[in-house]
Structure 1
Amino acid sequence: MGGNKELFDVEKNDKLGRYAVASQDLKAGDVIFSEKPFAYGPKSDSPCLCLGCYNPVDCTKLCSKCSWPVCSDDCEKLPCHKDFECDVFSKAGVKFQPVEDPTDVCLQYECITPLRFLLMKEKDPKRWEAEVQPMEAHNDIRKTKPIWEFNQHNVVEYLRGPCKLDRFPEDLIHTVCGILEVNAFEARTPSGYLIRCLFPKLAILSHNCISNIHHAIDCKGTGDSEDFSVTVRAAIDVKKGAQLHSSYTYSLWPTLVRREFLKEGKYFDCTCERCSDKTELGTHCGTLKCQRCDNGVIVSTNPLDDTCEWKCTHCDYKTTAVAVRKVYAAIQADLDQVEYVVGPEGLQQRETLYKKYKSVLHPKNSYINILRSALVQLYGKADGYSLEDLPDIILERKVELCTQLLEVLDVIEPGKSRIRGMVLYELHGPLMVLARHQYQNDAIKKEQFKEQLRKAIDALGEANEILKQEPETLPEGQLSKITEQAYQQLNENFDMLVETAC
């Protein structure tokens, strides 16, 4: 933070353990702290990646020293590889074993990030003792789970055996694996691929399904110690002494899915305000439509009980949480099928799913919102669907999709959140084009046109205020340069835009 005071204090109690509170009143956008990761590297279940830049590789190029996959001579010289696993593997003579399909999960990579973690413990023992050692690994719970045996075979025995690192005790390696599983955060590389980073200060923030902070991880792409530093800001105004909450899960998921993810991966039951409310604070992210009556919706009778009954609000229809979870899983499987389909085909396939499920799901249901999030980005960008190509009825649909999504985000991701900034950016374009069309066709008067134009520019301005928080190495940060310039030009040329619209 360049020497600036960090704006949080650490407190502790028996229920929460360590947690962070604001040390002074915070305004939305205030920087609370920044930090470098203690360790970072491939996620668990990773395919084959370059161990320097983390781009996918076909494994034909290997490091000249250790014979593990890299994508170039430059990458094998990067400190994140050269000063860590490369040295260990080359001294022990442990070489990468050829794989049939480099895009499949490669279990050889399971050891990389724990190994870097262990080596950092030796390189920076003061930070380990002060920041990392107090972190929770949940070894008592993890010993009863399949993950323990998985790590025993793929990490512990591999490092202590072939890699000749028996100076690290088994319990310590398991603890390192547990700390990573429970506390690591995902980060995107400049190419868009995901790795995991351990930020000890960020991990202190307790979980809440409605976060009041926003974190942005900056990858400078150099591979040195500056890589993947995180900056944590207040997403909303926060009073002095209030807890600072991060979210460990995806905000658009419904409660059943979020709580299952947290229970299985983070080893706790979330009882936050959103999880405790059967309507998810009025967003109805988990609500289904009743198929027995016209006006009823199906909600949980006890959202903190993952096995309870779900009932219709208008008739006597009942079902189980297990059945609802199966519905969610089927829908998620459909979404997974189209996740990487882009262009006109991706747009059409998602519209098909939207129509398929709108009779089953509440209009604000999570899976409808996930589809909205994808559609608002495709309309205006896919070939044949640029803003100037779209008829008014489709422009109105994009505005509607953005507006409906923002209504939910106002509750579940309030304030200066990345997704809100992106949706506001997507909203401003169709608002402007629609207003111009309506004015040109005499559907609205000049004053109304000016109001609509100002509304669009204000949406762009708010998007810019959010996106400028994003690192320039990420797409959102790059977009902020465009939004800032466009916002400035639109304001400066507002009168001319009005006069030349006809």
Structure 2
Amino acid sequence: MSQQDLFKIETSDTVGRYSVASRDLKAGEIIFAETPFAYGPKSDTHCLCLGCHNPVDCTYLCSKCSWPVCSPECEVLAVHKDNECAVFSSSKVKFQAVEDPADVCLQYECITPLRVLLQKERDTKRWETEISKMEAHNEKRKSKPIWEFNQHNIVEYLRGPCKLDRFSEELIHTVCGILEINAFEARTPNCYMIRCLYPKLAIMSHNCISNIHHAVDCQGNGNLTDCLVTVRAATDIPKGGELYSSYTYSFWPTLVRREFLRESKFFECTCPRCSDKTELDTHLSSLKCQRCDNGVIVASDPLVDLCEWNCTHCEYKTHGGAIKKVFAAIQNEIDQVEYIGGHEGIQQREHIFRKYKSVLHPKHAYMTILRSALIQLYGKAEGYTLGELPDVVLERKIELCYQLLEVLDVIEPGMSRIRGITLYELHGPIMMHARHQYQYDAISKDDFKRRLRESINILKQAVEILKNEPVSQPEGQLGQMALAASEQLEENFDMLVETAY
């Protein structure tokens, strides 16, 4: 059976097109791979090279169209040369100099829609069979500020200065809607974000607990064979089982996820996770009650944003609007430290963690987000490398990893990228802590061997997941490191035991 036969498309009156497995699928099995119909800058992007999509300082401009690129090599890449370069050159539309290339530059808003429009003319068959069937929700979008924004920055710009009046206003708005609702993010080899339009992947229904996993191999070669996406089963999926992707960030609480989906994808999510007061016992939305010892505050109806929230043990009540404000305030604090690394990054995140420990459920979404960040920093930040961590911090990292894995078992089950990374981060502190305990005579030689074997087995689990990630991406490179490390540890197991004391 070919990969094209591993799923089939079905239609219903309620959800439209969706896909189901054509046979039983095993976790990790490739379901399909596809190249994008088009790809390019995200909305609200800063100045970037129109060839490789890396940030630029705008000092070098394309010799043909005078828009920013990195170099002569980037200006001849097909993704630029065959698209906007030809249009801008013929219409003599110049890039307007900016004060700070790192700021959002609205001149880039037209680039990806333009690439889709031009590809529509080159590949009419794929447009008709795949892209034209995608949801654009023009009627719903007309009442949103984005409609007027697109009208001014994209529609009028392309039909006016760019002299592309062969494309109707309605068509351009439709392309904008298709991108806003269906495009997926991808990372360049240097980890800068772009967006790609994948017709098959877009058919996969949304669920806040996905059972498929996609990985984009963005090579930066500047043509449509770039940004190949490979879609695998994250868990075992039975024949006839629906294939689910997630259109939102799995660590967000229900209020935030549902609002994002409502505003950006134009539907109300009623998946089992969103419908459950405790988010399937993860309590990613729950707060601790300040009026009693054991109470947990949960939504009376999680599918109603402004519903009443009640304590499970006492009479305390509050309103969904108040909860929303609390979540926004905490999210803002986390956003403020997002790009802070090293010692300061650890200290600030631990401060936020301690600050809300008495307010949020231990597994709450924002505690989970902080755990995920701290796991990455402990062992890597200067002054906090794995060999420098005292036992108390090694124990802290081990605890954080296990707590995160407990949540991932529910919200990102199976072979997910974040699970592979967390398992990799877990094996090291287990090994180092066991070695210290053995050296202090706190554990026996047999106990040390058992814990060393546990660490290696955890590393092998990480390898099984991360080996599926493209080597052009950090997770794929981590997978290669994990494989080399596991082979070395296995080969030198006895020597590690004998030399540890």
Aligning the two structures, in what range does the TM-score lie when normalised by the shorter sequence? over 0.9
The within-5 A match list for 1:285-304 is 285-304=284-303
Counterpart in 2 of 1:434? 433
- Pair 1:375-2:365 in alignment: no
SS in structure 1 of the partner of residue 388 of structure 2: coil
Q: CA deviation at 1:7?
A: 1.2
Alignment deviations for residues 338-387 of structure 1 (CA, whole Å, 9 cap, x no partner):
11111111111111111111111110001001110010111111111111
Counterpart in 2 of 1:424? 423
* Larger displacement relative to structure 2 (245-254 or 143-152): 143-152
Counterpart in 1 of 2:37? 38
Alignment deviations for residues 435-483 of structure 1 (CA, whole Å, 9 cap, x no partner):
1111121211222212211111111000011111100000010111110
Alignment deviations for residues 162-185 of structure 1 (CA, whole Å, 9 cap, x no partner):
100000011110100000000000
Distance 1:117 1:355 in 2: 48
Distance 1:433 1:205 in 2: 42
Counterpart in 1 of 2:444? 445
Counterpart in 2 of 1:14? 13
Alignment deviations for residues 212-242 of structure 1 (CA, whole Å, 9 cap, x no partner):
0000001112112221110000000000100
Q: CA deviation at 1:5?
A: 4.1
Q: Is the 8 A contact 2:3 2:31 kept in 1?
A: no
When the two chains are superposed, the root-mean-square deviation of aligned CA atoms in Å is 1.1
Alignment deviations for residues 56-102 of structure 1 (CA, whole Å, 9 cap, x no partner):
11212111110111111111111000000000001001011111221
Write the letter of the residue equivalent to 1:30. Answer: E
Percent of pairs with identical residues: 71
Q: Is the 8 A contact 2:38 2:224 kept in 1?
A: no
Alignment deviations for residues 106-148 of structure 1 (CA, whole Å, 9 cap, x no partner):
1111100000000000010010011111111111111111111
Q: CA deviation at 1:496?
A: 2.2
Distance 1:176 1:187 in 2: 19
Counterpart in 2 of 1:282? 281
The within-5 A match list for 1:71-470 is 71-470=70-469
Distance 1:225 1:44 in 2: 20
Write the letter of the residue equivalent to 1:236. Answer: T
Counterpart in 1 of 2:476? 477
Q: CA deviation at 1:307?
A: 1.1
Write the letter of the residue equivalent to 1:335. Answer: I
Write the letter of the residue equivalent to 1:172. Answer: L
Write the letter of the residue equivalent to 1:251. Answer: S
Alignment deviations for residues 260-289 of structure 1 (CA, whole Å, 9 cap, x no partner):
000000000000000000000010001111
Q: Is the 8 A contact 1:470 1:476 kept in 2?
A: yes
Distance 1:149 1:115 in 2: 18
Q: Is the 8 A contact 1:457 1:491 kept in 2?
A: yes
SS in structure 1 of the partner of residue 18 of structure 2: strand
SS in structure 2 of the partner of residue 177 of structure 1: helix
Write the letter of the residue equivalent to 2:386. Answer: L
Q: Is the 8 A contact 1:220 1:226 kept in 2?
A: no
5+ long unaligned stretches in structure 1: none
Q: CA deviation at 1:313?
A: 1.1
SS in structure 2 of the partner of residue 103 of structure 1: coil
5+ long unaligned stretches in structure 2: none
Write the letter of the residue equivalent to 1:144. Answer: S
SS in structure 1 of the partner of residue 84 of structure 2: helix
Distance 2:33 2:257 in 1: 27
Distance 1:168 1:328 in 2: 43
For normalisation by structure 2, the TM-score amounts to 0.99
For normalisation by structure 1, the TM-score amounts to 0.98
Alignment deviations for residues 300-333 of structure 1 (CA, whole Å, 9 cap, x no partner):
0000001101111112111111111111111111
Q: Is the 8 A contact 1:137 1:179 kept in 2?
A: yes
SS in structure 1 of the partner of residue 95 of structure 2: coil
Counterpart in 1 of 2:487? 488
Distance 2:352 2:56 in 1: 33
Q: Is the 8 A contact 1:6 1:33 kept in 2?
A: no
Write the letter of the residue equivalent to 2:408. Answer: L
Write the letter of the residue equivalent to 1:474. Answer: Q
Write the letter of the residue equivalent to 1:120. Answer: Q
Distance 1:225 1:272 in 2: 34
Distance 1:203 1:188 in 2: 18
